[in-house]
Structure formats: C-alpha cells, structure tokens
Amino acid sequence: MIKDITFGQYYKKDSVIHSLDPRVKLVATLVFLVSLFISTNIFAYILATVFLVSAIVLCKVPFSFIISGLKSLLILLLISIVFNIFLTPGEKVFVLGPISVTREGIIIAAKMAIRLIYLVIGSSILTLTTTPSKLTDGLEKGLGFLNIFKVPVAEIALMMSIALRFIPILIEEVDKIMKAQTSRGADFDKGNLVEKAKSLVPLLVPLFVSAFRRANDLAYAMESRCYSSSVHRTKLRPLTYKRIDYITYLILLVFIVLIFITRYIKIDMIVL
C-alpha cells in the first residue's frame, strides 16, 4: 500500500555515487536542478539527459525502483501538461470547439514534463544514495560558514535529521494503521471527495496521537541524556573530500559551463 512510496528512501548499494561525499551530491543535485531551469534548447536537454542517465547507471539502484517514485507525481504532471497545452496562446495546431491546442503550448508542456520528471528523478537519486544522517552531516558542514551570521546551523541540521528519520517510521505506522482499519471494514478509496476525506479520520487520528507520543518520548530521551546543541560536537566519521569528490566537482563544473554554452547555440529546426 503506502509502502510503495519510494521518494525520499535510502537504497543500500555499493556504488561510486553512494560513496561520494554528501556535500558533493548536494551541490551536484543543486547544479542539476539549476541546469534544468536554465536549459533553453534541445542540446541542453540532451546534456542533462546524459548527466542523469550516467548518474542512474552509476548509482546501481534498479531503474524500476527509481521511477516508481514518479507515480505519486502523475496527477501534478497531468494537470500541468493539460493546462499548458490548452491555455497557451499562439499558433493553433488544431481546434476542438472552444478548446485549441497551440504549438507553443505543446512545447511548453513538453518542457514542463521533462523538467518535473528530471527534477524528481534527480533529487530521488540524492536521497536514494545518501543516508539521512550523511545528508544532514553534509548540510551541517557545507553550511557551516553561516555560523558567522549567527544562523543556528547545528540545530537546523538536527531538526532536519529528526524529521528525515521519522519519515520511514511514520510511513510504516500509516501502513499498520491502514491495516488495522481496513480489517474493520474501512475503505480509503471509495466514494467522492468528501467521503474520502471523511474516511481519512480513522487514519489521521491514530497517526497524530502516535506522532505526538513519539516526539514526546524523543524529547524526554534527549533531555535525560543531557542533550545540548550548544556544545561543539565531534564526528565519528568526519567528512573529508577524496579524489573522486574533486573529480566529480570538476565534472559538475564542465557540465554547468556546457549548459551555459548551449544557451548561445541558435537553431531553427526545433524551437525547444
């Protein structure tokens, strides 16, 4: 049921991508996302595709597992495609009563779809190959310079790691609650929107109750072990860059420069 959500999960494998420094992966994801939004023509999209495909191949996570995270995005994707296709003014390709499909609409919809899909796949690769603790370590160290501006980086990182850590736990709980309520004849997909929303009550109440209880327990546990974020903490495995990390930074640099260059290539054959 709900366990099919793969977005944001960690997938254990032994690969180059898994072994990269989390800071590198964070920067890489950021660079990739930026590159998607500054891409203006087909060459940029080809470059981005090559980049993404090589990341997918290198991370050794089964492709079917990666794209299964897209399922939850389907509705959003459809909405944006439909709106873009029908509501963009421009050269009419075909007319169906009051609705008309324009050439510009199709192009924008296609761009939108590619961007959204790539965006989700790209960020899934980050979370699939990086454990939440490494991710927050990376953030903490990568954003460490903000300490000068009195930004409480360590606290933010702690909150993030707790939030991330609780996602799989809550998913598992939703699954258990759904099982318990389904066994009592509850049906979560039947009926119209109002009925569906109503049917969520037996799911949400126990979920909130248990989430608050967990948060409370965690706070007490931290309190009783004298947790304080003001103390400077050392790490069991401090993050240090290795050769492969520098190489990756170099590849990223080349990639983003290439993307910029594509902006100056003028082509007429496809207006992408």
Partner 1 sequence: MSILEVKNIKYKYNKFDESSKYALDDISFSIDEKDFVAIIGESGSGKSTLISHLNGLYKAYSGEILFKGVNIYSNDFNLTDLRFKCGIVFQYPEYQLFSETVIDDVAFGAMKKGLSKDEAYKKSVEVLKLLGIEHLKDEAPFNLSGGEKRKVAFAGVFVMDPDILIFDEPDAGLDPVSKDQFYELIKSLNNKFGTTIIYITHNLDDVIEYANKVIVLNEGKIVKTGKPFEILTDKEVMTKANLEMPYAVSIYYEVLKKGYEIDKTKLKFDELLNSLINLK
Output the smallest distance, CB 220 to partner 1, in A.
18
Q: Distance between CA 160 and CA 165 in Å, rounded? A: 8
Output the smallest distance, CB 185 to partner 1, in A.
3
Choosing from 82, 93, 163, 209, the residue that interacts with partner 1 (CB under 8 A) is 209
Q: Is 68 in the site for partner 1 (CB under 8 A)?
A: yes
Q: Is 210 in the site for partner 1 (CB under 8 A)?
A: yes
* Nearest CA-CA partner of 53 in 73, 32, 38: 32
- Render 155-166 in DSSP notation, one character per residue: HHHHHHHHHHHH
| Cβ atoms of residues 83 and 101 within 8 Å | no
* Nearest CA-CA partner of 222 in 237, 231, 152: 231
Q: Distance between CA 174 and CA 37 in Å, rounded? A: 35
Output the smallest distance, CB 123 to partner 1, in A.
19
Choosing from 206, 222, 251, 258, the residue that interacts with partner 1 (CB under 8 A) is 206
Choosing from 78, 205, 218, 221, the residue that interacts with partner 1 (CB under 8 A) is 205
Choosing from 160, 181, 249, 256, the residue that interacts with partner 1 (CB under 8 A) is 181
Contact range with partner 1 by CB under 8 A, out of 30-38, 112-120, 121-129, 199-207: 199-207
The per-residue b/e assignment along 123-136, b for 16 or more CB within 10 angstroms, e otherwise, is bbbbbbbbbbebbb
Contact range with partner 1 by CB under 8 A, out of 28-36, 46-54, 78-86, 206-214: 206-214
Neighbours of 90 (CB within 10 A): 14
Residues within the interface to partner 1 (CB under 8 A): 3, 62, 64-65, 68, 173, 176-177, 179-187, 201-202, 205-206, 209-210, 213
